[in-house]
Amino acid sequence: MAYLPHTLVTFGGVTNAKAAGDEIWQCGIRGFQTGGGPVGAGDLDDLALLILRGPTGDGGGLQNLFADARAHMGGTSYLSWCKAANIGADGKYSAEPGYAQMTPVAGGSAAQAPSFCSVAVSFGTGKTLGRGIRGRIYLPNYGAVRSNGVTIDSTSQTNILEWSVDMLRAVDTTNEDIEFHPWIVSQSGAANLITEIRVGDVWDTQRRRKDAISESYSGSSFAP
C-alpha cells in the first residue's frame, strides 16, 4: 500500500484568539498537477502564495474568502498561512515544502457554538465503492446560526455550501501558470477527482486538533 506521488495543500491559523493556548486549525486538500503527478518542486512556494492570495496577489484566493459572511467563520478565528508540499509513495515529504504567510485575516461571524465545533465540509467523487472516494475538512465555522442544540439553520447550511464551492475553486488553480487539481488520494494507491461537495446541518467537532487547549480535570475516588 502506497500513495501515488501527489501534492498536499494545507491552510490554517488560530482557532480562537480569545482562548488560552492559541489552538490551531488546519485543513488539507490533496491533488495533482495537470497530467498527473505532483507540482514541480520549484513551484511550491508560488502555488501556496497563489492559493492564499489569488492570481493577482491583492485580495483574491483564500485570503479574501475567509472573511466572507457566507463562510460563518468565527470572528476570533484567523487564517494566516498556506503550505504546498509534495508527498511521496511513503507519505512523507519528497521535496522542501512551499510556504506562504500573511497578516492574519479574521472570520466574519459572531460565535454561535464553542470554537472546537465545526460544520464539516465533505468531498465526493461520484463513486460509492472503493478507496479514495470521500474526504472531509473541518473549518472554524462556529459562527453558523443554530437551529436547535445540535443543528444549524438552512440558511447557514446553504451559505457554507456556496462558500465551499468557491473555496475549492480557489484551491483548484486550473488555467493559472501553476496548475493544481483537488483529488481524493488514498494511502492504498487509489485516487479520484473531486466532483461533489456536501455540507450537513449537524454540528461536528474539529479533528486532529493542533496545540489543543489544555484540559483540567476534577476527580473523585470510587470504592466499588
Arithmetic mean of pLDDT, 112-136: 92
Q: Quick one: pLDDT at residue 23?
A: 86
Q: How does residue 212 score in pLDDT terms, banded at 50, 70 and 90?
A: low
Asked whether the predicted pLDDT for residue 213 surpasses 90, the reply is no
* Between 90 and 213, residue with greater pLDDT: 90
Q: How does residue 30 score in pLDDT terms, banded at 50, 70 and 90?
A: very high
C-alpha angle 10-11-13 in degrees, rounded to nearest 5 = 140
C-alpha angle 183-27-35 in degrees, rounded to nearest 5 = 25
Q: From residue 4, give the alpha-carbon distance in Å to each of 90, 132, 187.
A: 9, 11, 8
Check: CB of residue 52 under 8 Å from CB of residue 104: no
Residue 47, all three cell numbers: 502555488
Q: How does residue 120 score in pLDDT terms, banded at 50, 70 and 90?
A: very high
- pLDDT (tens digit, 9 = 90+) per residue, 126-170? 988 889 999 999 999 999 999 987 899 999 999 999 999 999 999
Residue 179, all three cell numbers: 496548475
- pLDDT (tens digit, 9 = 90+) per residue, 60-107? 799 999 999 999 999 999 999 999 999 999 999 999 999 999 999 999
Q: Quick one: pLDDT at residue 151?
A: 92
Q: What is the rounded CA–CA span in Å between residue 124 and residue 175?
A: 23
Cβ neighbour number for residue 195 with a 10 Å cutoff: 12
Q: Quick one: pLDDT at residue 175?
A: 85
Task: Tell me the sheet residues that pair with 183.
Answer: 30, 193
Q: How does residue 31 score in pLDDT terms, banded at 50, 70 and 90?
A: very high
